[in-house]
Amino acid sequence: MATNRRRVCLGALTVAFVVAAVAWTVASAASLSHTFDEPHHLATGIAWWQFGTYRWWTENPPLPKVVTALAPYLAGMRLPAPPAALSPAPWMPGIELLDGAPSYRRALMLARLGTVGFLLLALGVTFALAGGRKRLFAAFAATALVATYPPLLGHAGLATTDVAAVATVLLFLLFLDRWADRPSPGRAAALGAGLGLATLCKLTAPAFCAITGLAWLAARRWALGRWTDGAPKRWRARLGQVAIAGAAAFAAIWAAYRFSFGRLDELPPMGFMRTPVLPPPGQRSPLLAWVCRLRLPAPEFWHGFLFLKAHDANGHPAFLLGQVRARGGFWDFYLVGLLLKSPLPFLLLLGVCLPVLLRKRRPRLDARALGAGLAAIGALALSTRLTVNIGLRHLLIVVPLLAIFIAGAITPWIGGLVGRARVAAAVAFGALLAASAVTVERARPELFAYFNPLAGREPARALIDSDLDWGQDLPLLVRELRARRIPSAHYAFFGTMNPCGPDLPRLEPLQPKVPVTGWVVLSEQFYRSNFLVSLRRPSCASPHYRFDVAPDGSFDWLHAYEPVARIGATLRLYHIPER
């Protein structure tokens, strides 16, 4: 009876943490304006539903966009013309979709709710990978740790691709674990479909699937003495199942691209900044020229990898601890992000559990917990080679992996205690989970901009971009300007919100290196770095956005002044007196 009561209690607590995670995520999403990339994802997803093609900005695969665009599409959102007749980049058409919606807030929330579905999938798969109902305490602990991780919840409230990638890579690992337990053609097909779904969320996902999958199997070999169940003489059958998995992955990917067929050079010209995806015909390598002549299934998919290569070749500005690099990034970017953006209870538990992996003898972990720990280490090792450093969101997969490892290490330790010691350990663990929940509550509404106390009072000195300032704070700015009864201001806002709405005072763009007087609003992005590329209207009289690239030091003159107020996580409000 006591055991049944304990299982019911743990089950109820798990549900409570999941419900709380969804509530925190939805409340955060409802409080923020759209971030820099959301219009882009919305426009390409609407194009998939409206025109049945996916030939627009192929660097990002379609699955998360299709999911997030479904509800807005069913609500009547439509592009005014096919993508070929619109801007080569989807940002401006996406902004106009939101601006032209009968209700901006409703349209944005309909899109964001699609990502909440991926959050639920990630929490459910975390529960299953940590042991499910067979190891209920470990499954509850892992789920609760993920459900109280502010940056993951914050990104789950945005119409972007990052949490979808987390959920589907975890799903791949779950299918891999089940296939390894009992290999069969059906489970091999599910494994391949999982790989295909992960790839359809991010083109970097196959690399993470490979490294985490190998770590997972290596953990089985270490903990159980075997890679997969079954006799060695059946390896020939395993190779056949690998072929089935490959076919299933290909089928899933091709289906998402609407079973398209064609040549790479039939796609519209695309490029990242000044680097074209496909060089002019005379500048292509012999191999690329030959590939461009082939008719391929899902040419948009293969084009996406070339787009990713162009992005890497062009480089992407990276900011870390006050330093800016135009390309190449920082090897420790994601390690610093994990350290500064994880709740302190999470870090404390990780620090207590990490020595388990360093034991010389076989650890007291089951294969899943050990696999999660090794997979997280593999993903972190891979992150040191990534050159596009624009946010911890690209490495959020390590959060549920570390949570599963922590839960798997804590469970046997608490279970090995007796009497009051066990009660004290369980109470201490519960207190840490409660502290994590309080952390999320205090971080609202800007969950993805959360930093722990290790970042200090000025976290923007450490990280910016999508870790802090992604243009999300316009509603908070509106509230502040109303409260102060400010009739007009100059602004340099890293975001794509319409600054000319009926609820706003008059906002005029702040011109680079041109000091002004009166009220001034400046984004942390522009205060800290030379990331001075933005989409904005030159004035409220102009209906269209344009790209603006400002020179370095454009707003350095504001460093001589102290802000009157900080608005949200990202905006500085100044009042510059008349001279």
The pLDDT, as a whole number, for residue 233 is 52
pLDDT cut 70: percent of the chain above it:
92
Amino acid at 379: A
Beta-ladder partners of 491: 509, 521
Between CA 502 and CA 265 the distance in angstroms is 45
Stretch among 144-148, 510-514, 569-573 having the lowest mean pLDDT? 510-514
pLDDT (tens digit per residue) in 237-252: 778 888 999 999 999 9
pLDDT (tens digit per residue) in 288-346: 889 988 999 999 999 999 988 888 877 788 889 988 887 788 999 999 999 999 999 99
Please, which pLDDT band fits residue 542 given cuts at 50, 70 and 90? Answer: low
Residue 532 clears pLDDT 90, i.e. is over it: no
Contact status, residue 201 vs residue 168, Cβ threshold 8 Å: yes
Please, which pLDDT band fits residue 449 given cuts at 50, 70 and 90? Answer: very high
Q: What is the pTM of this model?
A: 0.93
Between CA 251 and CA 259 the distance in angstroms is 9
Residue 427 clears pLDDT 70, i.e. is over it: yes
The pLDDT, as a whole number, for residue 231 is 45
Average pLDDT rounded to a whole number, residues 7-24: 94
The pLDDT, as a whole number, for residue 357 is 66
Please, which pLDDT band fits residue 534 given cuts at 50, 70 and 90? Answer: low
Amino acid at 76: G
Average pLDDT rounded to a whole number, residues 239-266: 93
pLDDT averaged over every residue in the chain: 88
The pLDDT, as a whole number, for residue 247 is 96
The pLDDT, as a whole number, for residue 493 is 83
Residue 4 clears pLDDT 70, i.e. is over it: yes
The pLDDT, as a whole number, for residue 234 is 64
The pLDDT, as a whole number, for residue 232 is 46
pLDDT cut 90: percent of the chain above it:
58
Average pLDDT rounded to a whole number, residues 117-133: 96
The pLDDT, as a whole number, for residue 554 is 81
The structure tokens listed for 264 are 């790479």
Residue 364 clears pLDDT 70, i.e. is over it: no
The pLDDT, as a whole number, for residue 240 is 86
Q: Provide the CB-side half-sphere exposure for 378 (13 A, CA).
A: 20
Residue 478 clears pLDDT 50, i.e. is over it: yes
Average pLDDT rounded to a whole number, residues 233-238: 66
- How is 324-391 classified by DSSP, letter by letter? EESSS--TTHHHHHHHHHS-HHHHHHHHHHGGGGG-SSPPS--HHHHHHHHHHHHHHHHHTT----S-
The structure tokens listed for 312 are 């890497």
Beta-ladder partners of 261: 297
Secondary element (H or E) of residue 567: strand 565-567
Residue 371 clears pLDDT 80, i.e. is over it: yes
The pLDDT, as a whole number, for residue 510 is 82
Average pLDDT rounded to a whole number, residues 528-539: 58
Please, which pLDDT band fits residue 360 given cuts at 50, 70 and 90? Answer: very low
The pLDDT, as a whole number, for residue 525 is 87
Residue 311 CA to its chain's centroid (Å): 18
Residue 272 clears pLDDT 80, i.e. is over it: no
The more confident residue out of 521 and 274 is 521
For tokens 């009051």, what's the residue?
A: 420
Going along 418-501, which residue ranges are E strands? 488-492
The more confident residue out of 234 and 369 is 369
Strands 318-320 and 323-325: antiparallel
Strands 506-509 and 323-325: unpaired
The pLDDT, as a whole number, for residue 323 is 87
The pLDDT, as a whole number, for residue 535 is 45
The pLDDT, as a whole number, for residue 468 is 94
The pLDDT, as a whole number, for residue 508 is 83
